[in-house]
Structure 1
Amino acid sequence: MGDQLMDHAMKIAPLLIAAGVLAAAPAFAQANTDPARDPAKTEVWTPVPATVATPPGKAPSDAIVLFDGKDASAWESEQGGRVPWTVADGALTIVPGSKGIRTKQRFCDIQLHVEWRSPVETKGFDGQNRGNSGIFLQELYELQVLDSYNNPTYANGQAGSIYKQAMPLVNASRAPGQWQAYDILWKAPRFSPGGGLISPARITVLHNGVLVQDDTVLAGRTEYIGPPSYSPHACAPIHLQEHDAKVSYRNIWVREL
């Protein structure tokens, strides 16, 4: 008797499964035809993002190359006229005692890539006197360049700091004589027609691929003495500071945002 029941159960089991599938089919069909569940409703096809080529070791195809190792024609002295620094071996190197340089073109919101190298010789130099330079966004806001490898100084004045405003999240410095890189996202401040501040400047910085400034809000222009503050201005050049050290730069490019 037990064997007969088992045989009967095995015969009807497939029928019960098939019946269940048939019963559920209308529900699946309804789900697939329900307009509210159409996946195409959340697909965006236009506008199509522009294509940007990113060849290894080179600037993106839509970037403005500011220095390629050979040509400094995108720059001028901070006082106007010929760049007073040397161009050799693929690098643009500061001549101590000369002036800083600035781009001939003016910029507001940008993505900026800069590679820099502090001098190998460190004997007799420490703190702010070791490999000091700076990258000024819109000529007013300084991202510090400094040899901060085993070189104590005030935290908001070391490499990767927004000078005298924001210390870096970490010290990602390499040894002197090694090339380092900053990748910068800069959002310019906005001012009203009457000169009031609508929104402050903001900056994000990767130092050698490490996040050191995370959407940092600036309190105003860089000041050596006293607190920072804003005054209205337009787009302005990128400025590289001369600070009595043979700091070198290479592979500089910018994308306007």
Structure 2
Amino acid sequence: MKPLPLLAALLISPSAFAADGVTTKGVIGPESMERPENATLLISEDGHALVPEKDDIPSKWVFEDGVLTASPKWDSLVTKENYSDFRLHVEFNVNDNGKTDNPEANGNSGIYIQKRYEVQILNSFGVSEEDYKASYCGSIYKIKKPDQLVCKKAGEWQSYDMVFRAARFDGDKKTENARITVYQNGKLIHDDFEIPRKTGAGQKEGPEPGPIKFQGHDNPVRFRNAWIVPLELD
């Protein structure tokens, strides 16, 4: 694979960032979505590197033919390593369980960054902009809707490409909010957004890095081709 364009420059050249501080802008774009050589594979054709979130809950996730299918129950998987700043790619495929009376129970999963901030996964295709909630697919859960609606139909493969810069702390005092840029299906849906707090059931914010959680939420959402690259966005 070709190395990620601009990545080296961004890591060593502070002038590449906005004048008011380090951001997640410019690290990736539509022309730079390929997997760099130094990426850690989380889900590949040969297996996956995720582990159960809780030791006392047997995992019911299933891996077959390069696809990892979420548990039909309430159990999640996490990365073995903890991360601060990073770039993540993941492909997902939501199910349609027909629960039109409760749209947030249909195709539900999510990517929990540091187990603190959730980028929602849901079967949200066809929802109008007027009716779209900040708890639907692509949202920073209950904080911000995506800037544009680009969801595909249930059964079709979709992608998230994210650049995340962790919140900064001085001791226990937060000095900078976390920031995130997200592309869904190659379209920019969050542009260097400042995440003001943890989301939903996320863990409390803190200075320590954390794992990436693939949420099991009673739906057999499928995942494939997931990888991560640690960054140093200072």
Report matched runs for 1:102-181 at 5 Å.
Answer: 102-119=78-95, 121-125=96-100, 126-151=102-127, 154-181=132-159
2:134 is paired with a residue whose SS is helix
Aligned residue number for residue 243 of structure 1:
217
Q: Measure the CA separation in 2 of the matches of 1:96 and 1:210.
A: 30
Count of residue pairs the alignment pairs up: 198
Q: 1:208 to 1:57 in 2, by over 3 A?
A: closer
Specify the alignment match of 2:26 in structure 1: none
Which has the larger helix fraction? 1
Q: 1:217 to 1:245 in 2, by over 3 A?
A: same
Runs of 4+ in 1 over 3 A off after TM superposition: 80-84, 151-154, 228-231
Greater relative contact order, per chain length (Cα 8 Å cut-off, separation 6+): 2
Counterpart Cα distance in 1 of 2:199 and 2:38 = 30
Deviations along 1:100-120, one digit per CA (max 9) or x if unpaired, are 01001111100000000011x
Alignment partners' CA distance in 1, 2:165 and 2:203:
17
Aligned counterpart for 1:208 among listed residues 185, 209, 213: 185
* Cα distance in structure 2, aligned partners of 1:109 and 1:164: 22
Deviation for aligned residue 1:183: 0.3
**Are 1:198 and 2:175 an aligned pair?**
yes
Residue 80 (structure 1) aligned to one of 55, 63, 68: 55
Aligned residues: percent identity?
33
CA apart distance, 1:151? 4.2
The structure where strand makes up a greater share of residues is 2
Q: Is the 8 A contact 1:84 1:98 kept in 2?
A: no
Q: Partners in 1 of 2:33 and 2:47 — Cα distance?
A: 18
Where in structure 2 are there 5+ consecutive unaligned residues?
1-11, 14-31
